[in-house]
Structure 1
Amino acid sequence: MAHETAFALWLIPGGAPAARLEELIEALARETGGPAFAPHLTLLGGLRGDGGALAAKLGGLRGDGGALRPVALEARGPATGSTRHQCVFLDVTPSEPLTALRRAAEAALGANANEAPFRPHVSLVYGELPAARRKELAADPRVLALAHEVWWADRIELWAVAGQTERWRCLEGVALERR
């Protein structure tokens, strides 16, 4: 893989909540003309290097007790941002298990995640929409219905995220093991 390709490490929610998120993301993509994408929380973004080497390092990722455990992702309500990938999203409570997993991932991948302060969130819409449209989407009853849910991330995946969203692909994934 090319050294200049961009990568991101995602936490993937599982089960019925993931299906609801996916359905909403796809519906909002159709309505806004934006891309659909897999439901995820970006644990680390802006990773650079060789995809194969990063994928191999992901396999060595371990939590404090050895195996990686599922992490609760507690939504805190809808929000909007000013960037394409933070157009409309659900903020997620920055819990200690989530923060610890991020630190472990940084150490395992040799990453420096100082690109921006960590703001855990689950994006619902990608795009460059006017502020009024973003606010309208954030107030949509379908979005509000998810605003205080708790999802369990049961998988961590390394994604190649260079270029158009439709071309992004998962390179490697690791299941987060229940006790």
Structure 2
Amino acid sequence: MTKIPEAKGFSIWLMFVKEDELKLQKLIDHLCNEFNSPSFKPHLTLLSKIKNRDNLIDRFSQLVENLEPFDLNITGIKYSNEFYKSLYLEIEKNEILKNLFLKAVSLYDGVLNLLDFNPHISLLYTDENDEKKKSIIQKVQELNLTKVKVNRISLIKTEGTPEDWSELISLHL
């Protein structure tokens, strides 16, 4: 069984149109079953570890002003030793994404810059070794995932483990 580290704070997630969400959820659930790891909703974390609770919802509403649904290009499948980024789809850092990240950082008094932002969509949370992760990359590549469409943004309370996480608000673009 995978040892699950606990997360802290709040996160801003980009969420996908139903068709893309279902396709990714099916893949995530399959991998979670195979690796006996926690399941989670498909998302791209725009900003995490937000600790300041003041006007959390008001600031979140400002984030989506004048924003339309947009596409994200998938540029590869990678793995790392970070639990919450074990196996993931690498996402192109396009202008919309960069601007949205910078706006989120400024709204939530963050100190991150664009160099700290590595957009990705996690497919698996695990502490398994790299060889096991490498073995499933080929299978995922065969799905030929090239892009996803973002149509909403959610504010998530990411306290504890994935089954404890909860959505506070979700706004459609």
Tell me the distance in 2 between the aligned counterparts of 1:124 and 1:55: 28
Matches within 5 A, 1:21-100: 21-50=24-53, 53-62=55-64, 66-100=65-99
Q: Determine helix, strand or coil for the equivalent of 1:35.
A: coil
Q: CA RMSD in A?
A: 2.0
- Matched to 1:34, the amino acid is S
Q: Determine helix, strand or coil for the equivalent of 1:105.
A: helix
- State whether residues 78 and 147 of structure 1, in contact with CA within 8 Å, keep that contact through their aligned partners in structure 2: no
Distance 1:26 1:87, change over 3 A: same
Q: Determine helix, strand or coil for the equivalent of 1:173.
A: strand
Offset at 1:167? 0.7
- Matched to 1:17, the amino acid is D
Tell me the distance in 2 between the aligned counterparts of 1:13 and 1:6: 23
Offset at 1:100? 0.7
Tell me the distance in 1 between the aligned counterparts of 2:96 and 2:142: 25
- Of residues 146, 153, 170, the one that matches 1:156 is 153
Tell me the distance in 1 between the aligned counterparts of 2:110 and 2:68: 21
- Matched to 1:22, the amino acid is Q
Distance 1:146 1:69, change over 3 A: farther
Distance 1:146 1:41, change over 3 A: farther
With 95-104 and 53-62 compared, the bigger mean Cα shift is at 53-62
Offset at 1:146? 4.4
Tell me the distance in 2 between the aligned counterparts of 1:103 and 1:146: 32
Offset at 1:56? 2.3
- Per-residue CA deviations over 1:48-77 (Å, capped at 9, x if unaligned) read 122x73122101224xxx511222111112
Q: Determine helix, strand or coil for the equivalent of 2:67.
A: coil
2:169 match: 172
- State whether residues 76 and 148 of structure 1, in contact with CA within 8 Å, keep that contact through their aligned partners in structure 2: no
5+ long unaligned stretches in structure 2: 1-7
Q: TM-score, normalised by structure 2?
A: 0.88
Offset at 1:114? 5.1
- State whether residues 13 and 43 of structure 2, in contact with CA within 8 Å, keep that contact through their aligned partners in structure 1: yes
- State whether residues 75 and 147 of structure 1, in contact with CA within 8 Å, keep that contact through their aligned partners in structure 2: no
Distance 1:116 1:172, change over 3 A: farther
With 88-97 and 113-122 compared, the bigger mean Cα shift is at 113-122
5+ long unaligned stretches in structure 1: none
1:14 match: 17
1:110 match: 109
